[in-house]
């Protein structure tokens, strides 16, 4: 199967961190982003710092005391959540392809029967 995402450069990844955190990416973009983050320590660090920084800003008005120590854990959860939805979406595609094959076979069977009758 052809891959929908291309390999992103560090520059591209670091400039789309905000987009990722705001959930403004398509699933394909998010997949490329997370894959890069998984193998690139430089961008991973950028992401963690950006996340910690923006969380700290939000914290000033809305965050609970208990959440304050959890920035890095949260970003890990977030990366895992993206990977889970990418995996889910791929499973959907597979299931849909099976459904089409099944429908085509069913259609062929029905046609065969009506021609036979
Ligand atoms: Zn990088």
- CB of 32 closer than 8 Å to CB of 5: yes
Question: In angstroms, what is the span from residue 33 Cα to ligand 1's centroid?
Answer: 9
| Average pLDDT along the chain | 81
Quote the ligand 1 centre to 85 CA distance (angstroms).
22
- How far, in Å, from the CA of 15 to the mean position of ligand 1? 11
Q: What is the mean pLDDT of residues 102-117?
A: 75
Reported as a single tens digit per residue, the pLDDT across 41-94 is 999 999 999 988 887 777 665 656 555 555 556 788 889 999 999 999 888 887
Whether the CA torsion 79, 9, 51, 27 is positive or negative: it is negative
Helices 71-116/27-39 angle, 10° precision: 130
pLDDT in tens, 11-31: 999 999 999 988 899 999 999
pLDDT beyond 60 at 4: no
d(CA 102, CA 46): 47
* C-alpha to C-alpha distances, 64 to 56, 61, 70, nearest whole angstrom: 11, 9, 11
The rounded Å distance from CA 89 to ligand 1 centre is: 25
């Amino acid at each position: 199967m052809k891959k929908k995402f291309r390999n992103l450069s560090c520059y591209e990844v670091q400039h789309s961190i905000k987009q990722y955190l705001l959930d403004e990416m398509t699933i394909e973009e998010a997949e490329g982003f997370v894959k890069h983050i998984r193998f690139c320590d430089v961008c991973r660090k950028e992401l963690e710092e950006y996340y910690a920084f923006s969380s700290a800003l939000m914290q000033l008005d809305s965050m609970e005391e208990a959440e304050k120590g959890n920035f890095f854990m949260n970003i890990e959860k977030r990366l895992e959540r993206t990977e889970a939805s990418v995996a889910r979406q791929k499973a959907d595609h597979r299931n849909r392809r099976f459904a089409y094959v099944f429908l085509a076979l069913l259609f062929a069977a029905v046609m065969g029967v009506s021609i036979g009758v």
